[in-house]
Amino acid sequence: MDDVAAWKQIEGWREDPSSVAILTDIDGTLAPIVPTPDLSEVPGELLGLLRELSGKYLLVAGISGRKTQDAFDLIGLDEVVYFGNHGFEILRDGEVEVIPDALPFLERVKELESRAKEELAPLGAFVEEKGITASIHYRNAPPEVGERCVAFVKAEGERLGLRITVGRGVVEARPPIRADKGTAVRALVEEYRPRKAMFLGDDTTDLDAFRELVALRKEGTLEEILRVGVRSDEGPPEIVAEADIVAEDVEGVGEVLRVLAR
């Protein structure tokens, strides 16, 4: 789909908002990337747009690598559905539910976290405690420390039988079961039954969501999809290559949301 056709599709979705799900990553998409996750903030205009869209469209959901509670705290809108920890957790009725298949791996994730604090934190890495997954951030550290973080977490992950992924200034460990932003997208589509759905994202883990939308369309579960990729120097080239619309940073995401709300 070319860019012009994609924007026309968004305009068409405004005519029947009750059939549309708006699914989005948070960090790097709604909130600019910052040195450490605790400094992250979603601009006030985007929060206003999310609130407005939640009142018009079938579903607005934030699907994040953050802990689900952290994702909620960052956006702070009760109207939005929250899937956190790359699809391992969902917030329902004020309670965070962890996928049962992941729970046996909790102690292994905690062990990796503890080892990372001992070995990597003194070098300048930031170890984020996320419960069922672990994230080691090296954005503020020298390049050689980043390389050390990736190598260390990959080795520990292999030893402990965990799945390891590398993103924008971060290496993450999680249980080795299929739970990612793609499975979160599928779960929400199957529950809310939209006919059309979009996902907005900027990083490697968001590609799972892009590709799940394609699969859901091929199956006939969704009639129309849109993939909005946020361009960045650190993001994978596939985000731009696979996107129907390319947004230039968070301001570009705001333009997409404004068109949906118009």
Query: In a 10 Å sphere around its CB, with 0-12 CB exposed, 13-18 middle and 19+ buried, how is residue 15 labelled?
Result: exposed
Active site residue 233: no
Q: Could you tell me if 183 and 212 are in contact, meaning their C-beta atoms sit under 8 angstroms apart?
A: yes
Q: Where are the beta strands (DSSP E) in 102-174?
A: 126-129, 134-137, 163-167, 170-174
- The answer to whether residues 199 and 206 touch, using CB atoms and an 8 Å cutoff, is yes
Cβ neighbour number for residue 117 with a 10 Å cutoff: 15
Catalytic residue among 16, 25, 202, 249: 25
Q: Which residues contact 256 (CB under 8 A, 6 or more apart)?
A: 10, 200, 228, 245, 247
Residues with catalytic annotation? 25
